[in-house]
Amino acid sequence: MTAEDLLKTLEDLKEDEFKKFKWYLQQQDILEGYQSIKVSKLENADRLDTVDVMVKTFNLHGALKVTKKVLEKINRNDLVKQPLDEMYIHLSVTAGGDIHINKQHEVRKIETVKTADTETTIKPCDMFKHPSGEDRPIRTVLTQGIAGIGKTFLVHKFVLDWCKGETNQDEEALNHIFTALQSSGNTNFDRSEFKLLFVLDGLDESRLDLDCSTNKNKAVKIDVRAQTSVDKLLTNLIKKKLLPSARLWITTRPAAANQIHSDFVDIRTEVRGFYDPQKKEYFRKRFRNEEQADRIISHIKTSRSLHIMCHIPVFCWITATVLEGVMKTREGGELPKTLTEMYAEFLVFQIHQTKEKYDQKECIQCIESLAKLAYRQLEMGNLIFYENDLEKSGIDVSGASVCSGVFTEIFKEEHQRKNGKKKMFSFVHLSVQDFFKKVWKVLSRTSMTEVHRFAIDKTLQSSNGHLDLFLRFLLGLTLQTNQDLLKDVFAQIGSSSQTNLKTVNYIKKKISKNLSPEKSINLFHCLNELNDCSLVEEIQQALRSGSLSTDELSPAQWSALVFILLSSENNLDVFDLKKYSASDESLLRLLPVVKASNKAL
């Protein structure tokens, strides 16, 4: 959504509504973390002037959030809903998905993402239709996808289409038909006159004790008229012992998918996020200036790290936020090309956005608190935190509120129960939490050479890659350019070019050993964060000159070749294995490239 779309929204307001809209903009804390606008700036402002003032005060994304809040206050929710339709980009959702638990780090999981040309894709409105086209009832759908891939957005789109009367109109509202359904005794959903749909969005974020991982019938009989726990209600609902004719849609990250036994699931789907056409569509919608959009799309293609991460819609938003600011303040300047540079710029951007309302010391204290929280909670595998988790990291309840106010785009308060006793907090995305974990490691640093070697060894020992992204950030933040960006956050780390050279040589030594392809690829990403491309350039030169002989390649050179092929801008639709070698050893070495291709010859 652009400033032009925001203007169109304000033009839909009547004069008295527009007057109220401007009045709310002048109120203190209209939305936590956003300052009010002075009366003098809005007194004689028309709709066009108001948009300009809002974007200048809040930035575009902040202006959209404030607009949404004010529209809700003046009872124009109809205008709040419109932007979702206008900005919605169809996510790639496929039928199937691995029924086994996936223990890989989610960033590693998207390293080998490929276009699902041979898979069945599903529209949000067809979520409860069998992919094969068979006419049979579907009760429970389990949709999985990594953090930030768009599961909740998919749910919102489904609900919006239903509210607008466009799709799934056989569903009824719960409060209208509960009594009738309960007394009907009908357990066949398709034949039932009254149909319910329960959406359990975010199974992985729940700390409820659900006993659904086995197909053993342990469901406890409950009296629907008596008070009982949410755990028991949901367990019985999932196990079809409560409201067996109701539909159920569960979304989750892959690591928690095995909490629901396959006997209780009719269809499994997977949200794949954005493929290349959708990435382009996103940035073209975000940046209406065609030249600007082209520059961003071209820049992302040149960096494999950024290109991979842009499969995740949330990262597209982070990238757009950062690059928009960089292009405004550094016209013609170099754009961030590594993950560390991107997240460092993102953090600096958030600090600058809050300087007028919060002093710098308060911002830095919040960063330290959030970094400590990120480190401790990631060690335990937690993405959602409660008040007691915050207290253990030295953050009290009011402190949490301050942090969420200072960094509204980094740390957020989740939906809570009406009684307000169970506040929940989270980082906007797992990768942001990974970055803050690294910030804490720097703040509590020892010798950086020792830290580097220890972190590299620990990462290579990990079987699921959960330290991969952390290691990239750890190394990237030792570069002088990134330290200069974050000089207000922490004192100079003191890592010299000599330290980084030792680290580069240590990584190359590790690459020379017969590591798994995934581990080798991540070490090449680490070299990229340290701005060392010597191994890659050596193989690229051999490829250009036609002198590459796979019979003479060392393990490190094989790894470099795989990294180059995976980093290529060319679509790996068909990979000609014979071009390199047809031996069994070559096949094993090039297996990651084969997996990322739709077809191998």
What digits encode the pLDDT tens for the residues 94-106? 886 544 444 445 5
Long-range CB contacts (within 8 A, 24+) of 448-456: 448/478, 448/493, 448/494, 448/495, 448/499, 449/499, 449/502, 449/503, 452/478, 452/499, 452/502, 452/503, 452/506, 453/503, 453/506, 456/503, 456/506, 456/507, 456/510, 456/523, 456/526
What is the mean predicted confidence (pLDDT) over 542-567?
A: 76
- Which has the higher per-residue pLDDT, 33 or 45? 45
Question: Is a pLDDT exceeding 90 seen at residue 21?
Answer: yes
The pLDDT of residue 25 is 92
Which pLDDT band, with edges at 50, 70 and 90, does 19 fall under?
A: very high
Strand partners, 427: 411
How far apart CA 158 and CA 173 sit, in angstroms, is 15
Helix axes 360-379, 339-354, angle to 10 degrees: 140
The pLDDT of residue 569 is 59
Token pair listed for 520? 């080798």
Lowest model confidence (mean pLDDT) among 132-146, 202-216, 275-289, 337-351: 202-216
User: Which of 298-302, 491-495, 556-560 holds the top average pLDDT?
Assistant: 298-302
The pLDDT of residue 193 is 57
What is the mean predicted confidence (pLDDT) over 572-593?
A: 70
| Cβ(340)–Cβ(322) below 8 Å | no
Lowest model confidence (mean pLDDT) among 203-212, 295-304, 318-327: 203-212
The pLDDT of residue 337 is 83
CA distances from 543 to 546, 564, 593, 599 (A): 5, 10, 16, 22
CB atoms within 10 A of CB 403: 26
Strand partners, 41: none
- Which has the higher per-residue pLDDT, 157 or 446? 157
Q: Where are the alpha helices (DSSP H) in 2-125?
A: 3-11, 15-25, 39-42, 47-73, 77-87, 106-109
Which pLDDT band, with edges at 50, 70 and 90, does 116 fall under?
A: very low
Please name which of 495, 515, 409, 408 lies closest in space to residue 453, comparing C-alpha atoms: 495
Q: What mean pLDDT value characterizes the chain?
A: 75
- Which has the higher per-residue pLDDT, 296 or 515? 296
Q: Kindly tell me the burial class for residue 585, based on how many C-beta atoms sit within 10 Å of its own C-beta (0-12, 13-18, 19 or more).
A: exposed
CB atoms within 10 A of CB 185: 7
Question: Is a pLDDT exceeding 60 seen at residue 519?
Answer: yes
Domains along the chain with CATH numbers = 3-87 (1.10.533.10), 92-273 (no CATH), 280-328 (no CATH), 448-468+485-600 (no CATH)
Q: What percent of the chain has pLDDT over 90?
A: 3
Residue at token pair 């710029």: 345
Please name which of 548, 568, 546 lies closest in space to residue 557, comparing C-alpha atoms: 548
How far apart CA 351 and CA 363 sit, in angstroms, is 7
How far apart CA 180 and CA 190 sit, in angstroms, is 16
The pLDDT of residue 110 is 58
Beta strands in 552-597 (DSSP E): 574-575
How far apart CA 272 and CA 96 sit, in angstroms, is 12
The pLDDT of residue 181 is 38
The pLDDT of residue 223 is 76
Beta strands in 59-175 (DSSP E): 92-95, 140-144
The pLDDT of residue 420 is 46
Which pLDDT band, with edges at 50, 70 and 90, does 177 fall under?
A: very low
- 236 Ramachandran zone, left/alpha/beta (phi>0; psi -120 to 50): alpha
User: Which of 29-38, 234-243, 455-464 holds the top average pLDDT?
Assistant: 234-243
The pLDDT of residue 122 is 81
The pLDDT of residue 142 is 92
The pLDDT of residue 150 is 84
The pLDDT of residue 373 is 82
SS3 category, 52: helix
Residue at token pair 């490691």: 441
What is the mean predicted confidence (pLDDT) over 194-211?
A: 77
> SS3 for 502-518, per residue?
HHHHHHHHHHCCCCCHH
What is the mean predicted confidence (pLDDT) over 238-245?
A: 84
Rounded to 5 degrees, what are φ and ψ at 477?
-75, -5
The pLDDT of residue 217 is 59
Which pLDDT band, with edges at 50, 70 and 90, does 184 fall under?
A: very low
Which pLDDT band, with edges at 50, 70 and 90, does 496 fall under?
A: low
What digits encode the pLDDT tens for the residues 369-417? 778 888 787 777 777 777 788 777 777 665 555 555 555 556 666 544 4
- Which has the higher per-residue pLDDT, 342 or 88? 342
**Neighbouring C-alpha atoms within 13 Å toward the C-beta of 532:** 21
H or E element, residue 201: strand 197-201
Q: Kindly tell me the burial class for residue 77, based on how many C-beta atoms sit within 10 Å of its own C-beta (0-12, 13-18, 19 or more).
A: exposed
The pLDDT of residue 260 is 86
How far apart CA 203 and CA 252 sit, in angstroms, is 5
What digits encode the pLDDT tens for the residues 526-554? 888 888 888 888 888 777 777 677 767 78
> SS3 for 283-308, per residue?
HHHHCCCHHHHHHHHHHHHHCHHHHH
The pLDDT of residue 194 is 57
How far apart CA 533 and CA 529 sit, in angstroms, is 10
Please name which of 399, 374, 377 lies closest in space to residue 207, comparing C-alpha atoms: 377
DSSP state of 34: B
The pLDDT of residue 55 is 84
| Cβ(504)–Cβ(526) below 8 Å | no
SS3 category, 273: strand
Token pair listed for 61? 């994304």
Rounded to 5 degrees, what are φ and ψ at 38?
-60, 145
**Sign of the torsion angle spanned by Cα atoms 566, 570, 574, 576:** negative
| Cβ(403)–Cβ(366) below 8 Å | yes
Question: Is a pLDDT exceeding 60 seen at residue 218?
Answer: no
What is the mean predicted confidence (pLDDT) over 464-476?
A: 76
The angle at the Cα of 165, spanning 162 to 169, to the nearest 5 degrees, equals 65
- Which has the higher per-residue pLDDT, 411 or 6? 6
What is the mean predicted confidence (pLDDT) over 259-282?
A: 88
CA distances from 370 to 290, 445, 568 (A): 38, 16, 37
Question: Is a pLDDT exceeding 60 seen at residue 175?
Answer: no
CB atoms within 10 A of CB 1: 19
Which pLDDT band, with edges at 50, 70 and 90, does 89 fall under?
A: confident
Please name which of 473, 467, 400, 469 lies closest in space to residue 442, comparing C-alpha atoms: 473
| Cβ(202)–Cβ(251) below 8 Å | yes
What is the mean predicted confidence (pLDDT) over 185-198?
A: 60
Question: Is a pLDDT exceeding 70 seen at residue 27?
Answer: yes
The angle at the Cα of 540, spanning 538 to 541, to the nearest 5 degrees, equals 65
- Which has the higher per-residue pLDDT, 473 or 182? 473
What is the mean predicted confidence (pLDDT) over 203-212?
A: 75
- Which has the higher per-residue pLDDT, 194 or 423? 423
